[in-house]
Chains A and B, each alone.
Chain A
Amino acid sequence: MAYSDKVLDHYENPRNVGTLDKNDPNVGTGMVGAPACGDVMKLMIKVNDAGIIEDAKFKTYGCGSAIASSSLVTEWLKGKTVDEAYAIKNSAIAEELALPPVKIHCSVLAEDAIKAAVADIKAKQLAKASA
């Protein structure tokens, strides 16, 4: 199957691969997996006190489309508020990368990873507020 140029670009030069300190109270982690293909994705975001995402890193084990989807969202996330991040739809990711229908689930995985990371940081903030 032919990948689009954008997928190839992110696949060959993935942005923001790596991890952040998971014990940092300002870091949220989202882990998701796609049983259909066995792909695993970890997304970490660092959020400042104003609620803006300052940094984002990912680690994805999966096909080119899954890697490209997570690489792309780390670029999109920086500078966004957590609520803006939460609103990112998989369709936007799929459209930007011109994913074929059989690879749409890779963009779903990236959207769910963002949602999981945001939920994690919100839970951490709540815990901090009530501490």
Chain B
Amino acid sequence: MTDNYFELFGLTPSFNIELATFETNFRKIQSASHPDRFVTGTAAEKLSAMQLATLANEAYQTLKSPANRAKYLLELQGITAISDTNTAMPTDFLMQQMEWREALEDAKAAKDIFALEQLHAEIQSDGKALQANLIDLLDIKKDYSTATDATRKLIFIDKVCADINKAIEHLDN
């Protein structure tokens, strides 16, 4: 059994993965390792099925998120994109983050769902552009250093989007 997440799902390690194959192969592993199939199995069979199910879940969660998939691809190259001690980001990017955060606070205070949705769409479009860039950097150019910067940015963008969604949900209730 491989411990490479891509190989587990029969995929070539790349950022631009074949989503249909990814989903189908995940479901196949899920059903093949389901505990119900091992009710009469030996302890060793039960254990190995459980380990496979756990690995498949971890792999699925990692590869499903573009930011985590990029981070994992970089890890396979021996690059740690995210470390607690590296807090330097381009100033203009951080300024943009601050502006988005301020816009989020304002829209939240005004209970303005429309403004939140607009902000979310604006940030998502930056996220999509970064993802397109990552296909080029990781799969084609193999420029891992620039890809690391883009991955770090994508993680910030995901965080703001998640916070906006939380604010929208909160207002919806």
> Which residues of A are in contact with B by a Cβ distance under 8 Å?
31-38, 40, 42, 59, 61, 104-105, 108-109, 112-113
B42 at the interface (CB under 8 A from A): no
Given A33-B156, A35-B81, A38-B156, A112-B98 contact (CB < 8 Å): no
Q: List 22 A-B contacts (CB under 8 A).
A: A31-B89, A31-B94, A32-B89, A32-B94, A33-B89, A33-B93, A33-B94, A33-B156, A34-B87, A35-B82, A36-B82, A36-B83, A36-B155, A37-B159, A38-B158, A40-B101, A61-B98, A104-B84, A105-B84, A108-B85, A112-B88, A113-B87
| Residue ID in chain A nearest B160 by CB atoms | A38
Residues of A within 8 A of B84 (CB): 34, 36, 104-105, 108
Interface residue tally on B, bucketed by range? 20 to 34
How many A-B pairs have beta carbons closer than 8 Å: the answer is: 55
Interface residues of B in 133-157 (CB under 8 A from A): 152, 155-156
Q: How far is the CB of A102 from chain B (nearest CB, A)?
A: 10
Majority secondary structure of chain B interface residues (helix, strand, loop or mixed): helix
Q: Check A35 against B156 for contact (C-beta < 8 Å).
A: yes
Residues of B within 8 A of A36 (CB): 82-84, 155
Residue from the list A32, A42, A59, A61 in contact with B87, Cβ < 8 A: A32
State the CA gap A113–B97 with chains docked (Å).
Answer: 15
Residues of B within 8 A of A104 (CB): 84
State the CA gap A34–B97 with chains docked (Å).
Answer: 12
State the CA gap A40–B98 with chains docked (Å).
Answer: 7
B91 at the interface (CB under 8 A from A): yes
State the CA gap A43–B156 with chains docked (Å).
Answer: 19
Residues of A within 8 A of B39 (CB): none
Q: Check A38 against B88 for contact (C-beta < 8 Å).
A: no
State the CA gap A104–B91 with chains docked (Å).
Answer: 23
